[in-house]
Structure 1
Amino acid sequence: MIKRFVIAFVLLVLIVGGLVGYNLFRDRMIRQFFANMPVQPVPVSTVVLEPTSWTPTIEAIGTVSAINGVDLTVEVSGIVSHIGFEANDHVEKGAVLVQLDDAIERAELAAAEARANLDQTSLRRAIELQRREVGTDVNVDSARAAAQVSAAAVEKARAALDQKQIRAPFSGVIGIPKVVLGQYITPGTIVATLQDLTTMRVDFTVPEQSFYLLEIGQPVRLGADGADGTPHTGIVRGIDPKIDPSSRLANVRAEVANPDGRLTPGQFTQVHVVMPEEGDVLTLPQTAVVTSLYGDHVYVVRPSDEGGEGVGEADADTGEAAALVVRQVFVKTGRRSGDMVEILDGLSAGDRVVTAGQNRLSNGAPVTLAEEGTQGAGGTAQAVMQ
């Protein structure tokens, strides 16, 4: 009985020992396999950092309005008898847009004119009698005063009659009618909006730091594109000489031509006040810069031995291209514009910088060039003043 137990125990030890030994051997072989397996290079997109021209801009958000725009209202009450426009008509200055019933005013004008004619006749008769030395100076003065009063009454009646008409104060595009025929309207009722869309103004604010960079006549570029795809351009027309103490912002007004009518009063738009161009500025796409808790950094492609003069140059002995790796380099960034950022420190001209695929990289990782580019060659970057 004891002999059988010993044999069973020995067999169990052999089986367990074999399983444990097999697992240890397997793990060791797996580790050796991965340790000796070459790391596959990561394909990355890169650009060669080169000096470029840089046009600084002051960016803001502005509100567009017509240089001449008004909501037309009535001055007196009355019943609408005629509407002389339709929505989106182009009307000329002085055109009658809305006519109110003016029968009473016309009658009052006719009465005032008749009274004025009678007073003028009486004045001429009094002057003639005075010339014949029959009338007195008092009669002439009284007749002259009565004639002046009646003439003023005529002007008052004509003004009241004119108030029954709404005329276009300037040429422009009229909006949707807000009244209908036969409607009784009171003073202050809005009839329609009239906008001159040929020239627009854009009101925006800039921070206190940029206030002293502004000048009257500086070029302005809007974010909204014209009909041909080009942005609308204009100039700075006005700068408030006061900075708001609560917001630390200054009000600025630009004037922009709108020949294609794409700009609409009331819309908001991006405003770029263009500053003088600068040269020899290093810029990169913003996708190349990685932001972390330790600062901004980029990945620069270099030969694996760090001794080559260029990236990917052929080896003198084998004729094969040298292996490439990436090095993490911390940089100091400056102004930004669109998808570009200014590099102030950390890189130099000629560095090849990774622009895509950084999430798969680490310091010293091997890479291959998926595509090549040159940042700054033959291009002009736009900068934002911050």
Structure 2
Amino acid sequence: MKRIYLLSVIVILAACNNKPKDPKAELADLKKQQADISSKIAALEAKPGMQDSTKSTDVSVVTVKAGSFTNYVQIQGHIDAQDNVTAYPQTAGTIIAINVKVGDHVHKGEVLVQLDNSVLKQNILQAQAQAELASTVYQRQKNLWDQKIGTEVQFLQAKTNMEATQKQVASLRQQADLARIISPINGTVDQMDLKLGQVASPGTTGIRIVNADILKVKADVPESYATRVSQGQTVKVLFPDAKDSLIAKVTFASKVIDPGSRSFGIEIKLPTNRNLRPNMTATLKIADYNKASVITVPLKAIQKSEDGDYVFVNENGVAKRSVVKQGILYNNQVEILSGLKQGDQLIVMGASDVEDGDKVKVLAGN
């Protein structure tokens, strides 16, 4: 009976142990086991030498080389003629003759337009007649005086009268000369809108004359570049409309800052070029910094962190982090003062996708 009782107890306990578990509890238990396993795997993979030896990141590289590096200050300007003037009459009058037309080449001192000065011409003729009479009287009075005939007062009065009439003729001729427009320079008539019979006035009726053989570029440089732009610097001048460019020197740099625009003017004289015209747009690239031998890298290859700037270089298929010190940036190229040497394989494309020690695969063509 005792054995039968023990056997019954064992059967009952076994039945209790085979009772199905709660599904929610079982799921929670499995998730806990999964989290523990993932944590152990991550810890093992982080250990040196445990990385997947077959995994690599595709990158492109450039070989670091030293070369010349120039930084430019870039500003906008325009072409102007060295001699660009407007000739005006010096007195008011009616236009009676126009001797030139737009496009004509003229010389300095040439009469371009004649105004009506007929009244002055009549006055000049009268004054000339009086001057001739006064001169004759003087010559006769002088002959008498040389013979000790007459008085000294008579001689001096004749001389004074002659000189006064001559000055009057000269004065009237000068007034007559004001009644015309004269070219002050050698050049080409660029603009003129005059008609016969039109009344011309000083300062309002004129002819623009341009000497297009001597051109210059003028530009206003912001005050912030005052210490970087000066006379004598090399400048590359680009003419977008003429599809042309040239290398020149800054021939003039103003010492005064304009209080309104907070800028100062510069000028660059240009060689003769028939494709260039006044008021064309010009882009100036003024070299304010130059080194003959310096390492430069593309801006996109540089990464930033709280500890400073760095790049990745390819060393036998492994990305190695190198801290760098930057210099001047121009045209997406950065001067490197330290951290790289010639011959290094700088990772450019894919640099943001790798970490120090990652395996990399250099794409074909690099």
**What is the TM-score of this pair, normalised by structure 1?**
0.66
Superposition deviation, residue 162 in structure 1: 1.4
Larger Rg: 2
Matched, 1:282 2:298: no
Superposition deviation, residue 87 in structure 1: 2.4
Q: Deviations over 1:88-123 (max 9, x none)?
A: 333222222222122222222222222211111111
What code does the residue aligned with 2:291 have?
A: E
Superposition deviation, residue 345 in structure 1: 3.2
More off after superposition, 154-163 vs 91-100: 91-100
Conservation of the 8 A alpha-carbon contact between 2:76 and 2:281:
no
More off after superposition, 155-164 vs 245-254: 245-254
Matched, 1:369 2:363: yes
Change (3 A) 1:69 1:209: closer
More off after superposition, 112-121 vs 57-66: 57-66
Q: Deviations over 1:230-262 (max 9, x none)?
A: x33444444556677999866554433233351
What residue number does 1:314 align with? none
Q: Any idea what SS the aligned residue of 1:68 has? A: strand
Conservation of the 8 A alpha-carbon contact between 2:253 and 2:266:
yes
Change (3 A) 1:346 1:61: farther
Q: CA RMSD in A?
A: 4.4
Matched, 1:344 2:337: yes
User: Which structure 2 residues correspond to residues 67-82 of structure 1 after superposition, within 5 A?
Assistant: 67-82=82-97
More off after superposition, 141-150 vs 52-61: 52-61
Q: In 1, distance between residues paired with 2:241 and 2:323?
A: 41
Change (3 A) 1:192 1:244: closer
User: Which structure 2 residues correspond to residues 1-20 of structure 1 after superposition, within 5 A?
Assistant: none
Conservation of the 8 A alpha-carbon contact between 1:119 and 1:143:
yes
How many residues get paired?
325
More off after superposition, 69-78 vs 50-59: 50-59
Conservation of the 8 A alpha-carbon contact between 1:298 and 1:354:
no
Superposition deviation, residue 51 in structure 1: 1.0
Matched, 1:139 2:154: yes
What code does the residue aligned with 2:292 have?
A: G
Q: In 1, distance between residues paired with 2:323 and 2:287?
A: 31
Superposition deviation, residue 79 in structure 1: 1.3
Q: In 1, distance between residues paired with 2:109 and 2:252?
A: 30
What residue number does 2:206 align with? 191
User: Which structure 2 residues correspond to residues 219-234 of structure 1 after superposition, within 5 A?
Assistant: 219-224=234-239, 229=244, 231-234=245-248
Change (3 A) 1:122 1:83: same
Conservation of the 8 A alpha-carbon contact between 2:220 and 2:263:
no
Conservation of the 8 A alpha-carbon contact between 1:289 and 1:298:
yes
Q: In 2, distance between residues paired with 1:210 and 1:347?
A: 33
Change (3 A) 1:136 1:237: farther
What code does the residue aligned with 2:338 have?
A: D
Q: In 2, distance between residues paired with 1:295 and 1:142?
A: 102
Q: In 1, distance between residues paired with 2:126 and 2:348?
A: 86
What code does the residue aligned with 1:84 have?
A: N
Superposition deviation, residue 338 in structure 1: 4.3
User: Which structure 2 residues correspond to residues 210-359 of structure 1 after superposition, within 5 A?
Assistant: 211=227, 214=230, 217-224=232-239, 229=244, 231-240=245-254, 252-260=266-274, 262-265=276-279, 269-272=283-286, 278-286=291-299, 288=301, 299-303=311-315, 308=316, 323=317, 325=319, 331-338=324-331, 340-354=333-347
Structure 2's unaligned 5+ residue stretches are 1-22, 32-37, 39-51
Q: In 2, distance between residues paired with 1:177 and 1:253?
A: 28
Q: In 1, distance between residues paired with 2:309 and 2:168?
A: 83
Superposition deviation, residue 175 in structure 1: 1.4
Structure 1's unaligned 5+ residue stretches are 1-15, 25-30, 309-322, 373-386
What residue number does 2:108 align with? 93
Change (3 A) 1:264 1:247: closer
